[in-house]
Structure 1
Amino acid sequence: MIELGRLKIILVEAALETIPPSIASHPVVLKNAGKRGKSPHEILLDVSIHYHAMKKLPLKHKRGRPDIIHLSLLEALESPLNKTGRMEIYIHTIQGHAIFIDSSTRIPRNYNRFTGLMEQLFKEGEVPPGSEKPLLYIKTMPLDSLIKAIGAKGLILLSESCVQSSLDNVVGEALNNGFAIGIGGFPHGDFEEDTVKQAAKCYSIYRDPLATWIVVSRIIASAERLLGIL
């Protein structure tokens, strides 16, 4: 059993963003925004809705998947590890925004409500707006600045292309050395070069790609075993 340590997770290059200006006037986007009574710039990019509008976007294969973040946050914030105060989770989006999440936050289980919450966050900068202690707030900062801001001594990146290691070894190293664990928050493709440069270590926990929320779940379960929580 590990006595000390707090698990820090960063969902890296997360596919969470509002509609980019370059496609804000696309008919598909305008129709969706009008249906919801919002400006195109205020709604989340979602490939299941905006697929045709996204065809010419750079890195389109890695964008427009808020559901990945939704499922991952549900896994993390409802876990015994979080409820015992032994976990922190952050988001760093593909557009360079850092999202800070209070551990007491209860993410809506309903996807549409989650979407509305994230849209409010991007518009207002914090949720609830004007709160002295917001549950969520967003800042524009590079990944290395986020790593420093959360007090992590480095980043362990998880990628199937890196050296194979067991879950418990990876999590144990993170807990013992104060590293954050970076998990890709996008559906397809590899980490960008700038992301890889920020990693102190890189490990693979499985030979093939795994869904983000599955990795989050397994990492948390390992930490709970090592810390004697479950």
Structure 2
Amino acid sequence: MNFKKKQKPNQEEEKEDRVIIILQKACLRSIKVKDKYELLNHDDHHRIISQSKEKLSARPDILYQTLITLQDSPLNKAGKLQIYIHTETNVLIQVNPKLHVPRTFHRFKKLMVQLLKNLTIRSTNNSEILLKVIKNPVTKYLPTGCPIIGCSHSSDSLIDLHEFVPKLPKGPIIFILGAMAHGAIDTSYSETTISFSQFPLSASVACGKICFAFENLWEIL
């Protein structure tokens, strides 16, 4: 695999070491139940899902677990992580590293419904934007010339992350992962697709392994 960098704009923020994670096909869909909107999920809306003519994915808990893993990681607390969420309904969301993910799934569902309605979530302390719906495609927000790596258990390229990561060039590194229960991610804009376990991993565990590999590399404790 060749990860040579292309020439990049002379911008210091584009050259800084950091990990950018794109979570694809996240299940975030609000539905109206009686007189209020709720985040579609299997636990609360099993009847609606079973009766729908459309095949509905309803696992926002996968995104919830993954965001907790990422936002709580030492990598994020060290200022070395950026997250984008691309939902199955083509909504693109930018996550502020300062976002504190709610500790209960119930509160998370309410937060996501609010985001889908208002397009932004702001901090109650200083009005800083913590979540924001932005225009597609995600590639317009990515640093130029850096490696873009798809992650899939179905890839024929099985690697050891702790050997793979130190060989990557300095600067931003982008990983694409799925935040859904089943299906394939879009790797059309990636340079390569890798697998880093002989077993299928949840998005949360996969992201945790990526964070840990870079925390080791950059000596983040």
Fold conserved between structures, TM > 0.5: yes
8 Å contact 2:18–2:171 — kept in the other structure? Answer: no
Letter in 2 for 1:208: F
Q: 1:135 aligns with which of 126, 130, 139?
A: 130
8 Å contact 2:176–2:187 — kept in the other structure? Answer: no
Q: 2:39 aligns with which of 22, 36, 44?
A: 44
- Answering whether residue 20 of structure 2 is matched by residue 8 of structure 1, we say yes
Match of 1:189 in 2: 183
Match of 2:153 in 1: 160
Unmatched segments (≥5 aa) in structure 2: 1-15
**3-state SS of 1:10 partner:** strand
Match of 1:218 in 2: 209
8 Å contact 2:18–2:173 — kept in the other structure? Answer: no
Match of 1:28 in 2: none
Match of 2:85 in 1: 91
**3-state SS of 1:118 partner:** helix
Unmatched segments (≥5 aa) in structure 1: 25-32
Q: Deviations over 1:124-147 (max 9, x none)?
A: 010129x86411111242xxx213
Q: 2:141 aligns with which of 149, 152, 177?
A: 149
Identity level (%): 28
Q: Distance in 2 between matches of 1:113 and 1:86?
A: 26
Q: Distance in 2 between matches of 1:98 and 1:203?
A: 24
Q: CA RMSD in A?
A: 2.4
Match of 1:111 in 2: 105
Q: Distance in 1 between matches of 2:169 and 2:24?
A: 19
Deviates more, 1:42-51 or 1:165-174: 165-174
8 Å contact 1:147–1:155 — kept in the other structure? Answer: no
Match of 1:29 in 2: none
Q: 2:198 aligns with which of 207, 221, 228?
A: 207
8 Å contact 1:7–1:174 — kept in the other structure? Answer: no
8 Å contact 1:156–1:174 — kept in the other structure? Answer: no
Using structure 2 for the length normalisation, give the TM-score: 0.81
Match of 1:27 in 2: none
Letter in 2 for 1:198: Y
How far residue 154 of structure 1 moved from its aligned partner, in angstroms, is 4.8
Letter in 2 for 1:18: S
How far residue 169 of structure 1 moved from its aligned partner, in angstroms, is 4.3
The total of aligned residue pairs comes to 202
Letter in 1 for 2:153: E
Using structure 1 for the length normalisation, give the TM-score: 0.78
8 Å contact 2:93–2:131 — kept in the other structure? Answer: yes
Q: Distance in 2 between matches of 1:202 and 1:210?
A: 15
Letter in 2 for 1:181: F
How far residue 54 of structure 1 moved from its aligned partner, in angstroms, is 2.3
